[in-house]
Homo-oligomer: A and B are copies of this chain.
Amino acid sequence: MPKGFGGPPGWWARRFRGLEHRLTIPRQSVIDVLSKTSKHLSAEDIYLEVHKVYPMIGLSSVYRILEWLVQLGVVMKFDFGDKKARYELIKESREEHHHHHLVCRKCKRVIDYTEFINDEVEFIKKAEQGLSKKYNFKIEDHIIQFRGLCSECKETE
């Protein structure tokens, strides 16, 4: 795997080997872009980034690849209220990078936060146990968002 393609060399190759999933250059490139940022990129953002290093990429491929990664549980897809989906790689060291979002309803700015994760994990664990039992529902992940006004938008109210 060429240097600069997302994570420790071979990591993604190993991640996908054996599955009937090929780690092609377009796929590598998308993963690479996602792995290099903590921003919340839209499909088009990602397309433009990949395009810089791999200009023959097609926008439809980006959408296809993102959907593939979401299905595989490698990427999370978010809706922050502007009308495009935003994507974020789920980091390996989940515990380290587990976080949620503050979303400004006005400017749509998004702030990652990791505070209170311990309290959260405790609360979530209990809730997940109870809910999955009661509703016979297999819980795979969760979303927590606080919504309101960011410091900037609070001024201009």
| Complex CA–CA separation, A151 to B135 (angstroms) | 7
Per-position 1/0 for A51-91, Cβ under 8 A of B: 00000000000000000000000000101010000000000
Known: A102-B131, A115-B130. A141 touches B147 (CB 8 A): yes
- The residue that A115 contacts in the complex, of B131, B144, B151, with Cβ under 8 A, is B131
**A133 CB, nearest partner CB in chain B, Å:** 10
**A21 CB, nearest partner CB in chain B, Å:** 19
In the complex, are the beta carbons of A131 and B119 less than 8 A apart? Answer: no
In the bound complex, residues from chain B placing their C-beta under 8 Å from that of A144 are 142-144
In the complex, are the beta carbons of B148 and A102 less than 8 A apart? Answer: no
Per-position 1/0 for A36-48, Cβ under 8 A of B: 0000000000000
Known: A116-B130, A120-B127, A127-B119. A140 touches B147 (CB 8 A): yes
In the bound complex, residues from chain B placing their C-beta under 8 Å from that of A130 are 115-116
A→B interface (CB under 8 Å):
77, 79, 81, 102, 104-105, 111, 113, 115-116, 119-120, 123, 126-128, 130-132, 134-151, 154
